[in-house]
Chains A and B, each alone.
Chain A
Amino acid sequence: MNEDLLTPGVPELSDEWIALRTQHLMEEVATPSPRRKRRFVLTGASGGAVAVAATLVGLLGPWSTPAFAGWSSQPTSPSSGQLSTAEAACSTLATNLADAPGSTAPATLPPESLIDVRGPYTLLVYGSTSPTICVLGNGYSSLHEAGQAAIGMSSAPNDGNTVVHQSTGSDSFTTDPSSTPPAPDAAAIDINNTTVDNGQYFSLIEGQVGSQVTGATVVLSDGSSVEATVSNGLFAAWWPGQVTESSVQVTTTTGTN
């Protein structure tokens, strides 16, 4: 075994290729990004009307400032009634989404597979294959369904109104359904997403873990980390901002990878 073998060859990129792609890149960065399309519908508290027209997408409600107050990089214990409130809100969101014109989303959520609590915020994962993810907290709630229309909802209890919106755009909810189950001591990312609403960024990650994995930490590209919740062969975490994950470090029954 020599050094050449351990450093595999790379196909040569021609100067012509470099020139062409440079030109393309400069054209792309010179073009402003198209504004994401959004629809907002205001309904009464008891109203069931939800406008969902696009076939894909967007996510969370208009997080307020200060953004994500009370959020924790480590999972916390739920407060009294927090889970039942979250579960009820998610069921309502699923019903609203199913009732929306053009939606093919089911009205009933799959079985709950993971609960992640961070201060006042609750993230619920339903199902394990192409899971549905619900995030709630501080008066906001959202439901994310892979391959379906997705809605974000914010409740405004003071005026009794409910705002429902759907967004489309490049920051949309994405999944990688082709990913294969991870090795016993590894994790595989199924979903990661960063979205922005009202200038506030929010990122989440969800995936599968192998049978030997007992914990997972998401290392972000800025060097910070977020401890994920691991449950039922899945892991999930979320964090304010648009910093992407750099890696997922797992703790197994035999050590840390």
Chain B
Amino acid sequence: MFVRNYNDLDDADLWELSSTDHEAFGEIFRRHARAVFAICYWRTGDAAMAEDVTSVVFLEAWKRRDMVVLEQRSALPWLLGVANHSSRNATRSLRRYSQALKRLDGHRNLHNDDDMIDRLDAEISLNMVNEAARDLTEPEREIVLLVFWSGLSYEAAAVALGVPVGTIRSRVSRTRRKLQLRLGDNRVTKETS
């Protein structure tokens, strides 16, 4: 049995391979599922829903694979853009893939007590931040999700949101200004650019 080693392949290689090698697409999922899940969780505030939306994001990505935009050979920005869109309309996204998700029934993970505590902590943390960010507009929230929290560069966020880099810059500036006014603190991000 031939087992391909994907470690030396970047996303662009995997994406090209995936049309004939579905395991390559599986490798893309393994690499980026947690980052995609984070966006879905921050958007929905519901871990179980976010798990299913994460699956939906990759099913949607597969459906739209001919439209992928790789940023420096990484699929992550584009996937996070799909995640942002899919989780913003989570109910509709889940309905669209209800049949595929139904095939997961009986194979879902059972969560233990530690998982539940972990989820509760995350929920409390998210609620506090949402309170701080409640005045942000939708484009500003997207900046928080993708640039501040997920750490995308401006160029990568532009790919994720399908807007020019200049638009990202101005939105970042506006969002930071609004948060600083509200929070009275300039340590509001972990952005990379």
Contact = CB atoms under 8 A, between A and B. Distances in A.
A30 B91 contact: no
A8 B125 contact: yes
Interface in A175-198: 176, 178, 185-186, 189, 192
B25 interface: yes
A220 interface: yes
Contacts of B22: 26, 29-30
Interface string B101-123: 00110011100000100110110
A10 B138 contact: no
Contact of B42 (A10, A21, A221, A249): A10
A242 B65 CA distance: 12
A170 B95 CA distance: 9
B72 interface: no
A28 B125 contact: no
Contacts, number: 155
A13 B33 contact: yes
Contact of A24 (B38, B55, B137): B55
A6 B118 contact: no
B55 A21 contact: yes
B129 interface: yes
Nearest to A187: B138
What is the interface residue range for chain B against chain A? 35 or more
B162 A22 contact: no
A1 interface: yes
B51 interface: yes
A186 B140 CA distance: 12
B30 A186 contact: no
A28 B118 contact: no
A249 B164 CA distance: 14
Main secondary structure of the interface of B (DSSP, over half): helix
B122 A11 contact: yes
Given A11-B118, A20-B109, A6 B26 contact: no
B142 A10 contact: no
Contacts of A7: 129, 148-149, 190
Contact of B58 (A25, A174, A178): A25
A18 interface: yes
B25 A25 contact: yes
A16 to B, nearest CB: 6
Contacts of A30: 22
A108 interface: no
B148 A6 contact: yes
Contact of A10 (B30, B38, B89, B115): B38
Interface string A68-101: 0000000000000000000000000000000000
Interface in A1-43: 1-3, 5-14, 16-18, 20-30
A77 to B, nearest CB: 29
Given A28-B103, A185-B137, A222-B67, A246 B163 contact: yes
Interface residues of A, number: 49
A54 interface: no
Given A5-B125, A8-B128, A26 B25 contact: yes
Given A13-B33, A20-B109, A246 B190 contact: no
A248 B89 CA distance: 13
Nearest to B47: A11
A257 interface: yes
A247 B142 contact: yes
B137 A257 contact: yes
Contacts of A18: 29-30, 33-34
B96 A6 contact: no
A219 B163 contact: yes
Contacts of B9: none
27 contacts: A5-B125, A6-B179, A6-B183, A8-B149, A10-B34, A10-B122, A14-B109, A18-B33, A18-B34, A21-B29, A21-B54, A22-B33, A24-B103, A24-B107, A26-B23, A27-B103, A29-B22, A170-B96, A170-B99, A221-B81, A223-B162, A223-B164, A242-B64, A246-B81, A247-B163, A248-B138, A257-B137
- Shortest Cβ-Cβ A-B pairs, 5 listed: A246-B162, A9-B122, A8-B126, A8-B125, A9-B125
